[in-house]
Structure formats: C-alpha cells, structure tokens
Amino acid sequence: METKLQALKEEAIAKIKATLDTKELNDIRVKYLGKKGPITDLLKGMGKLPAEERPKMGQLVNVIRQEVTTFLEEKKEELEAKALEERLASETIDVTLPGREVKVGNHHPITRVAEEIEDIFLSMGYEIAEGPEVEKDFYNFEALNLPPDHPARDMQDSFYISEETLLRTHTSPVQARVMEQKKGEPIKIICPGKVYRRDSDDATHSHQFSQIEGLVVGENIRMSDLKGTLDLFAKKMFGADREIRLRPSFFPFTEPSVEMDISCFKCGGDGCNVCKQTGWIEILGGGMVHPNVLEMAGYDSKTMTGFAFGMGQERIAMLRYGIEDIRNFFTNDLRFLSQFNHTEL
Ligand code: PHE
C-alpha cells in the first residue's frame, strides 16, 4: 500500500507540473484528492490492514494529501500569475502613439483688434457699454440731433424693420441710451458692436461692419481732453512715434466735429501706398458732444460737457494686418482666418 501511495503521489505531481491551465489543474485535484479518487479508495481499504499498521498508514496518507495539495496550490498561483501577466500585456496602452490632431481655432481678427482697443481704453479707466443692434429710430437719429428729414440721414441709410425700428447704423445710439440711464451723472465709456448700412458691398464697403464708440461726459471736459486721449490711443495702438492731426468735419451730434488722422506707420509720413502718398491715414471721427444731445438726455449743457468719437474696427484691422478687401472678414474662408491663428498682436 505504501508503494502504491508513493506511486500515486508521483503520478499526481507529474501531472500537476505538466498542466498548463487552471481547469485541467482542477480536474487533477478532483481526480486524486476527491471523494471518488484513488487516495480516498486506499483510505477506505485501511480497514483490512492490521491494527498496528493503521496509524502509520493514516499518517502517510495525510502527508501525501498535504504534499499534493501544496503542489496544486503552488501551480494554481503560478498559472494565475501568468494569466494576469498575459492579460496586462495584451491590454497595455501604448502611450507613445501620437494623438489625433485637434484643430484649435483662434479669435477672429476683428475680435482681436476690438479687444486690443478695449484694453487701451480700459487702462484709461473707461467702462464697456453695449446696446441693441435692432434700434429705435429715436436713439439712432433723433436723440443724436438728427430729426426726421435731416439731410445727414441720407449718409446712413439703414434696414428698416418698421417706421420707428431699424438696424442701427452706428454705435452712437449707445451714447444716447447711456446718458438717459446715467441721469446727469459723469460718463466714461466705450461701446463696441456691430452696425449696418444700406450699402453695396465692395473691397472697402460692407452692409455690416463693426465700430467702437467712445463717450466722456463730465464737468470741464474740453477739446484738449479729446485730443490728448486720441493722441495716447494712436500711440498705444499704432506705435509710440505716431503723430495725430485733427481736421474739421461735421456730425450732427458733435460740435465742433473732427476727423482724426495718424501719421503713416509704414512710411512715417513720406508717402507710400498705405497712406495714398499723403503721409496721413484717416482713423476716426469725433468731436464735442452737441449741447442739444446733452439736453435731450437730461444733462445741463452749461455745467456738463463731453467728447465722443467713433471708429470702424474693420478699417483698423485692415491697416493693422495689411488686408485689402473688407469682405475677407465675413466670408468665413478658413484659408484667410487661419493666417491669424499664431500671430501675436
Ligand atoms: N457715428 C459716427 C459715424 O458712424 C462717428 C462718430 C462717433 C462721430 C462719435 C462723432 C462722435 O460716422
């Protein structure tokens, strides 16, 4: 019986060592150690042994069971570790694989220019105000000293929604709206936004474009304040050695009114294609707020005065980036827009 037991043990261990999967290993366990296995059979036959041999045999059977169990467990661990290793290897993520390129856009050139202008005025203590693009005739014209039938309305024909509602033709109605809200208080604002005019589109005209308006109202605001402000703006926007000049002009809502030119940033004033050989580039219109406009908004024009100015964002962006056709800003051609993706202002 002892040799039989030893032979069974060797046989079981050899099978355990040879097996390659956990299911087979379990079969081996059931076969040798299970209730119907040969070792159990041998134990059952113990009754036939002489009484003095029984304890020795019992002990041997236990030792053999223990040994086989140990081998089984070791093998089980080994197989499980191997399986885990294989699974990890097959599931490994290759972090060196290049990712899919994400197309990153950037701000539109008009937005970039507007933000730059806003930053300059914010640094001078201005606040940003906005108004509706669908505007009342009252704010767009009447409150700005342009009564019905005023001839200057011809220069700003618009898209009318009804008799008294239209797409605003400039950002100046925001002046009238803010003055109305502030009820006689001092004001220092800039107003960026889209404006509309009935116009035939060409390289320099668009029925939709953008402006930035400026308005300062307070005690003792003078023409020299307007000039100093515009001079600082021109230098910050177009270079420290820019000069400005103010030419007389006309707007119904400012008196006196001016156009501001800057000395050409390309040729410095000698004359070139950018300044059309004049040495000067027209940038904006402005002037002292007309007393009628102040009075209509409830300001006492004897004690409160103000200046205002307005400029076209597209025009400034065209000068800044050397763009020759205004329509480029609106056609959404990515070949045009992507040129600005990595440009530093
Ligand atoms: N609103 C005027 C325009 O669109 C510009 C302007 C603004 C002029 C403010 C004077 C004062 O032409």
Quick: pLDDT tens for 183-238.
Answer: 999 999 999 999 999 989 999 999 999 999 999 999 999 999 999 999 999 999 99
Mean pLDDT value across the chain: 91
252 close to ligand 1 (CB < 6 Angstrom): no
Q: Which residues are within 8 A (CB) of 63 and not within 5 positions of it... i.e. 6 or more apart?
A: none
Does the pLDDT value for residue 282 go beyond 70?
A: yes
CA distance 132 to 145: 19
Mean pLDDT of 28-43: 82
Exposed/middle/buried for residue 78 (C-beta within 10 Å: 0-12, 13-18, 19+): exposed
Query: Residue 8: its pLDDT value, please?
Result: 84
Asked whether residue 197 is assigned to any structural domain, the reply reads: yes
CATH number of the domain bearing residue 303: 3.30.930.10
Lowest-pLDDT range, 45-54, 168-177, 182-191, 209-218? 45-54
Query: Residue 102: its pLDDT value, please?
Result: 84
Query: Residue 14: its pLDDT value, please?
Result: 87
Atom from ligand 1 closest to the CA of residue 311: 5
Does the pLDDT value for residue 342 go beyond 80?
A: no
Read off the pLDDT of residues 96-118 as tens digits, 9 standing for 90 and up. 888 888 877 889 999 999 999 99
Q: Read out DSSP for 94-161?
A: -TTSPPPPP------HHHHHHHHHHHHHHTTT-EE----SEEEHHHHTGGGT--TT-GGGGGG---EE
Question: Does residue 199 share a domain with residue 76?
Answer: no
Residue that wins the pLDDT comparison between 334 and 37: 334
Question: Does residue 134 share a domain with residue 82?
Answer: no
* Cβ atoms of residues 228 and 263 within 8 Å: no
196 close to ligand 1 (CB < 6 Angstrom): no
Chain mean position to CA 254: 39
Question: Does residue 122 share a domain with residue 57?
Answer: no
Read off the pLDDT of residues 117-154 as tens digits, 9 standing for 90 and up. 999 999 999 999 999 999 999 999 999 999 998 888 88
Query: Residue 3: its pLDDT value, please?
Result: 84
How many separate domains does the chain show?
Answer: 2
Last residue of a domain, one of 40, 55, 90: 90
Q: Ligand 1 pocket test: which of 144, 196, 251 has the largest number of ligand atoms within 8 Å of its C-beta?
A: 251
Question: Does residue 57 share a domain with residue 85?
Answer: yes
Does the pLDDT value for residue 245 go beyond 80?
A: yes
Hunting for tokens 């002892």 — which residue is that?
2
Atom from ligand 1 closest to the CA of residue 171: 1
Asked whether residue 103 is assigned to any structural domain, the reply reads: no
* Cβ atoms of residues 182 and 298 within 8 Å: no
CA distance 193 to 202: 21
Least Cα distance to 110 among 292, 345, 283 occurs for 345
Asked whether residue 104 is assigned to any structural domain, the reply reads: no
Mean pLDDT of 272-283: 94
Q: Sorting pLDDT into bands at 50, 70 and 90, what band is 345?
A: very low
Q: Ligand 1 pocket test: which of 169, 253, 258 has the largest number of ligand atoms within 8 Å of its C-beta?
A: 253
Q: Sorting pLDDT into bands at 50, 70 and 90, what band is 165?
A: very high
Last residue of a domain, one of 90, 120, 143: 90
Question: Does residue 247 share a domain with residue 115?
Answer: yes
Full domain range(s) for residue 202:
109-340
Asked whether residue 236 is assigned to any structural domain, the reply reads: yes
210 close to ligand 1 (CB < 6 Angstrom): no
Question: Does residue 285 share a domain with residue 142?
Answer: yes
Lowest-pLDDT range, 83-87, 214-218, 263-267? 83-87
Distance 81 CA to ligand 1 centre (A): 80
Question: Does residue 286 share a domain with residue 328?
Answer: yes
156 close to ligand 1 (CB < 6 Angstrom): no
